[in-house]
Every structure is written in C-alpha cells, then in structure tokens.
Amino acid sequence: MANESNDYKMTFLEHLEELRKRLLISIIAIAIGATIAYFFSPEILSLLKKPAGPSLGKLKVLSLTEGFMAYFKIAIIVGIILSIPIIFYQVWAFISPALKPGERRHVHLFVFWTTISFLAGCIFAYTVLLPFAIPYLLNFGSGELEPMITVTKYLSFTSTMILGCGAVFELPILIYLLTMLGIVTTGFLTRNRKYAVLICFIAAAIITPTGDVVNLLLLAVPMIGLYEIGILASRLVKRKERQIL
C-alpha cells in the first residue's frame, strides 16, 4: 500500500503498527458503547426476549456470577453495534492507501452504507429469523422434553444470529471493495455462482442451527440475493473504470 502523498511504500512493520492503531481505536469505541449499554442491560434483555414470546418465561441462571456476566455480555454486544460506524471508518482508513486517489474520497459513502447494511442485517435477524427460530426450538420435543433455558445460552444464540446476519448483509459491499482492489472480477463471481450458493446454504445452516428447512431458507435466500447484488456492484466498478479510461 502506498500512502496518499507519494510513492512511499509502507513497510511490513508499519502496516502492523497501522493495524494496531485501528484495532485500538475500535476497541476503545466498543468499550465506551458497552459502558453506556451496561446501564440499560435489563431493558435490552427484555427486548431480546420478545421474539421468543410469552412461552419462554424467565431465563435461568446456574451460578452466582452468571447474571452479572449475562449483563456484561449484553453490554459488549450492544457496544459493538453502537460503535459500528467507527469500526467501519477504521477499516476504510486501513485499506484506503491501497485505493486510487479518487476512490479514497468515498469514505462517507462507505461508512454510511456499511453501517446501514449491518443494521439491516441485525433488524432482519431480530424481526424475521428469531421469531421463527426460537418458538420452533422451544416447542421441539415438547411432549417429552421441558426446556430450561439459561440466560447465557439464550444470549449466545440470539447474539450469534443478530451479529451473524449483520455481517452477512455486508456481502455486496465486501464484493465491491474486493473488485476495487482487483482481488476478484465480475467474471470470477459469475463463473463460481453455484459454489457461492452452496456456501450460502452452509453459512445459513451454521448461523441458524434449528434443523428445519424454513429457517434455513429464511437466511439462505437473502444471502443468495445479496451475492447477486454484489455481482451488480462489481459490474458497476468495472463500468466506472472504463469511463475513466
């Protein structure tokens, strides 16, 4: 990567130092967001329980510290979500030296769309996936099994779904960036579409481990759609490059 001023090339150690700096800023942002969120942990937990409906009841704790650690985990999750714009800005600041001068000016668009995409994925998980997945799992084997859901397990499940969907919704922007950096091409993405579909189903099965087809399709189909949007974004990059030339 070359910096914005000249032909100067950063050394490997300078890259590591730059990465350390960006990670440190991101961690501080998460810590600040988590500190604020901690004071609202009970209310946030109530919101996280809503997709389950009244059948969930009160979550269980199996140790003296589990309740405290649950609120701490909630604070970290919300801290990550609150600091997403800062995190994505740090990502842009780290990769921008590898971009052309004209491309570096799009930092505000990058931060805006990555933030919107991540939040859209989180909302999709909260309003679509969780209301389907949690009742299904609670009622599974209800004739012989009685669920005893601990707060730790519940938060692990819901946070994986929410943050996982947020990350998945970044796929078109990731493809756009990889095309700008010359790592992938539109032809490569089109030729490997069938493998991408397979990966989407595998990723959906990992993020939504409910075992039923409906919940699998609820995430896999949007992921495939996001991949197709990514192909369109890749074509847009190439069209802009031809216009410049």
- Return the pLDDT at 231: 92
Burial 121-145 (b: 16+ CB within 10 A, else e): bbebbbebbbebbbeebbeeeeeee
- Return the pLDDT at 138: 82
Q: List the structure tokens of 192.
A: 């490997």
| CA-based end-to-end distance of the chain | 22
CB 215 within 8 A of CB 223: no
**Angstrom distance (rounded) from CA 238 to CA 245:** 11
What string of pLDDT tens digits covers the 245 residues of the chain?
Answer: 444 444 456 677 777 888 899 999 999 999 999 999 999 999 999 999 999 888 788 899 999 999 999 999 999 999 999 999 999 999 888 887 776 666 667 778 888 999 999 999 999 999 998 998 888 888 875 667 777 889 999 999 899 889 989 999 999 999 988 888 788 888 899 999 999 999 999 988 887 766 667 778 888 899 999 999 999 988 887 776 665 55
What DSSP state is assigned to residue 154? H
Q: List the structure tokens of 104.
A: 């570096």
**Angstrom distance (rounded) from CA 70 to CA 85:** 25
**Angstrom distance (rounded) from CA 124 to CA 55:** 22
- Return the pLDDT at 6: 42
